[in-house]
Each structure stands twice: as C-alpha cells, then as structure tokens.
Amino acid sequence: MDPVTASLEAVLQRHAAVPPRGVVADYIPELACADPDDFAVAMASVHGSVYRAGDHEREFTIQSVSKPFVYALALADLGLDEVAEHVGFEPSGEPFNAISLEPGTGRPANPLINAGAIVTTSLIPGDAAQSFERIRAGLSAFAGRELELNEAVYRSEAATGDRNRALGFLTLSQGVLARPAEEACDIYFRQCSLMVTVADLAVMAGTLARGGVNPLTRTAVVDPEVAKIALSVMATCGMYDRSGEWMVRVGLPAKSGVGGGIAAVLPGEFGLGVYSPPLDAQGNSVRAMAVLQEMSSRLGLHVFAPPAGSRSPIAASEVVDDALTVRLRGELDFITAEQVSNHLLEQVVTRGIKRIEVDITHVTTVRAVAAELLRAVGIELRRHGLELMIEPAERIAAAAARVQKAPSVPFIGGPFATEPPTAQPSAVQPPG
Ligand SMILES: NC(=O)CC[C@H](N)C(=O)O
C-alpha cells in the first residue's frame, strides 16, 4: 500500500474506534436510509493522484457540498458583479436554513446558506432543464466523471422541502431570485441529489486547489479567479454557524452537506473528501469534521500556519571577470524575490560588477509580486549603469503582463470607489 493511503487508513481506523456521535439527517426522509457506520476518506493532489480509504465506493448525495461549485459556475457564467447583486459574501452566523436576508438589498447573506444557494442556482442560465443540465455537467467536470441524480432522494426532498420553497418565495419577493420560486427550488433539489463518492469530493476540492483545473482530466473548469472566490466563501461561510470555530481549529476552506460529506481544500496542494452520515446540530458530519481536524493539526495543514524555515531561491552565484551569473530555482514569490534582490544589490556594491545575468530556467513559478520586484531591481540597476538580463525573458515578461492585466477591483463597498466618504465634523474638539 502506498504511504498516503496507509496514513489515510490509519486516521480512519483511529476514528472508527470511537462510536459516532451525532444523528443521520431525517428531515429529508430518504437520507435516513444511510448507514451510520459508513466511513471513508479520499485525497486528490493537484498533480492528479487520488488516494482512497474506507467505504470509498459508497455513493451518497452531495447536498450542500454542491453549493460553492454551483456558485463558481454562476460566477463563470455571469461574473462577480452580476452575481453579487443577488447574493452577498458575509458569514451569517446562522443555521443553514435560516431566513438571512441583508437589510436594504434583500440579498441572502452568502451563497452557502440555503437562501443564498437557491438564489445562486436560479441564476444559472437556460430553462429549467437546461439550467439543471448545466449544473450537472459543471459539477461532473469538477469531479472528472459523469454524476447522476438519485431520484429517490430528489423526490423525498421535493415532497418535504417547504422551508426551502418558503426561502424561494421570500427571495423572489425581495427581487433577488432570478426565476419562479418553485422552478428554482426544483433545480436546487436536483442539484443536492446528485450522487458522489468521497473520491469525487476530493477531486472537486482538488480542482479548486488547482485554481479551477481538474487535476485528473486537466480540464479548466473555471478560471483561477473564480476558484479563488469560491474558496474564499468556503473559508468564511462553509460550515454555517460553525465557520469561525472551523477556521480556528482546522483552517481549511471546506463545505459540508447533510448527506454526511465534507470537501476541504489546501490551496495549491490537494483536495480532501470525507464521508460519515451522522451530523451535529449544525448539520455537519461529526466524524468527517474530527478526521479533518486531526489531519490538519497532526500534519500542519492550517492555511495560516507559516511554512517552517526559509526557502533559498539561489542555486548558484558566480562572478567571472566583471559579470555576475545567478541561477535561481523553485518558486519566485515576494520572499524569495526579496532575497534575489538583496543578493544582486549587495554583489553590485561589493564586487564591482558590470553585467548581471539571472537564469530562471529552473524556476517553477514566477508570481506577479516577484515580477514586479525584479522589474524594480532592474530599474535601480540601470540607474547605476548596469544591465540586468533575466533568461528566459519571456517567462518574466509573462508574469509582468499578468500584473498589467490584473483587473482594477472597485473598493469594497462599491460606492466608495467613486464617492469617498466626506469628512464628518468631529464631535470631539482637537486638543490645543
Ligand atoms: N446543509 C445541507 O446539506 C442542506 C441541503 C439540503 N438539500 C437542504 O436544502 O436542506
């Protein structure tokens, strides 16, 4: 057995030994048929390896894990500005089925609570059949295989989903739902009833981890910008009224579903899927949360944990006559580019150099911030009559072009971008 699978097996065994707390959802009657002992975990690396342990062949309905992915499809189809007219980005701190509408705009707080998810689903273009097919095909592209509807769960939710229909009518009355309420809810119930395995959740999460490119099929499902926004709402709103505690304790953008699945993402590295049907009072799988919490703390996966030690980008540095040649490796981000910048400027001062050549053939990525910093170093060196040559030049030019192309984002809160707040006369008199 490969070492990754072995460690996934070990985590499952440790948690399987503890009897599951929590209860299997039964407010959608068909969900009560799930076996509470089913337990599985999978990981999909951004390089396309998928590791599975436990009952990983079991299919279950995706439920709310679908929400960030459908949000991503809506962003891809309509763009952020249009979607943001219908649904916000703020954690609601309320249960998943709460009536959580922003005063003033009537928008649901975020796309991951039911009200926001139903509105998001309503935005996917086409008639009802086309819209559901876009969702089914889109989620399948995230998963890298064709996902199918569980008719029984769909009918069960459709027969009992009056609270969701109420949220549909309420958002319609606020002018934010984009199609008739019954139709929007029907598409939403179908979306929640798509069947997945833990490996599907891992690959879907892995697609977000890889900036929207499915690590198995290599298909670009959504743009990196869209994947980034989906991850942002998962980080702030993915676990409903446990989102804050989740971020503190686990620190991975994640989304849970009442079917018992959770998808979690370590950006740039991998996606995880965990499945265990018993849920806590918030509707999050108890064992899946425990597995993710253990993995995060034992393996140091929290997104805000700084990497230990420093990475040196300089593989070799050599002065021959009056020419300096520096060979770089790995990823160029701010902190590595800063080391390069300091090294070049120091060599210029101490070694009386006339020419500098930087070889980035073995650099894996040039981040925009690194391109910007190296451009500034080039300008500084030119002021001292020195030429900085970076080879291959196209790579640095491509990263620099990304800086130029980056969209100028309106200031948070929109109106402030054009209308700065006017200074209010202070009630407190300045001293003196
Ligand atoms: N949290 C969830 O997974 C809820 C999804 C479920 N289909 C519902 O709307 O109630």
| pLDDT for the residue 315 | 97
The full DSSP string for 83-130 is: HHTT-------S-TT---B-TTT--BS-TTSHHHHHHHHHHS-SSHHH
In the chain, CATH 3.40.710.10 sits at 18-25+36-299
Contact, 241 vs 93, CB < 8 A? Answer: yes
Ligand 1 midpoint to CA 224 (Å): 27
Ligand 1 midpoint to CA 326 (Å): 56
Q: How far is CA 381 from CA 17, 344, 348, in A?
A: 63, 9, 9
- The architecture of the domain spanning 18-25+36-299 is 3-Layer(aba) Sandwich (3.40)
Residue tagged active-site, from 41, 67, 100, 222:
67
Residues 6 or more apart whose CB falls under 8 angstroms from that of 293 comprise 249, 250
| pLDDT for the residue 406 | 57
Query: Does ipTM come in above 0.90?
Result: yes
CATH topology for 314-404 is Transcription Regulator spoIIAA (3.30.750)
| pLDDT for the residue 429 | 46
* pLDDT classification of 407: cutoffs 50, 70, 90: low
Structure tokens at 163: 């609270």
Does the annotation mark 64 as catalytic? yes
Among 60, 63, 242, name the best residue to mutate to test ligand 1's pocket (greatest count of ligand atoms within 8 A of Cβ).
63
Using the CB atoms, write b or e for 182-217: b if 16+ within 10 Å.
Answer: ebbbbbbbbbbbbbbbbbbbbbbbbbbbbbbbbbbb
- Nearest alpha-carbon partner for 94 in 69, 114, 68: 114
What is the pLDDT averaged over residues 1-25? 92
Residues with CB under 6 A from ligand 1: 63-64, 96-97, 114, 157, 164, 192, 257-258, 283
Lowest-confidence pick of 100-109, 162-171, 260-269:
100-109
Whole-number percent of the chain with pLDDT over 70? 93
Among 28, 112, 195, name the best residue to mutate to test ligand 1's pocket (greatest count of ligand atoms within 8 A of Cβ).
28
Using the CB atoms, write b or e for 105-133: b if 16+ within 10 Å.
Answer: ebbbbbbbbbbbbbbbbbbbeeeeeebbe
| pLDDT for the residue 18 | 85
Q: Measuring from atom 9 of ligand 1, which residue has the nearest CA? A: 114
| pLDDT for the residue 426 | 45
Among 121, 258, 285, name the best residue to mutate to test ligand 1's pocket (greatest count of ligand atoms within 8 A of Cβ).
258
Express each pLDDT in 155-194 by its tens digit: 999 999 999 999 999 999 999 999 999 999 999 999 999 9
Does the annotation mark 67 as catalytic? yes
Ligand 1 midpoint to CA 64 (Å): 5
In the chain, CATH 3.30.750.24 sits at 314-404
Express each pLDDT in 246-259 by its tens digit: 999 999 999 999 99
| Mean pLDDT across the chain | 92
Whole-number percent of the chain with pLDDT over 90? 81
Tell me if 18 is assigned to a ligand binding site. no
| pLDDT for the residue 52 | 98
* pLDDT classification of 61: cutoffs 50, 70, 90: very high
Express each pLDDT in 311-341 by its tens digit: 899 999 999 988 999 999 999 999 999 999 9
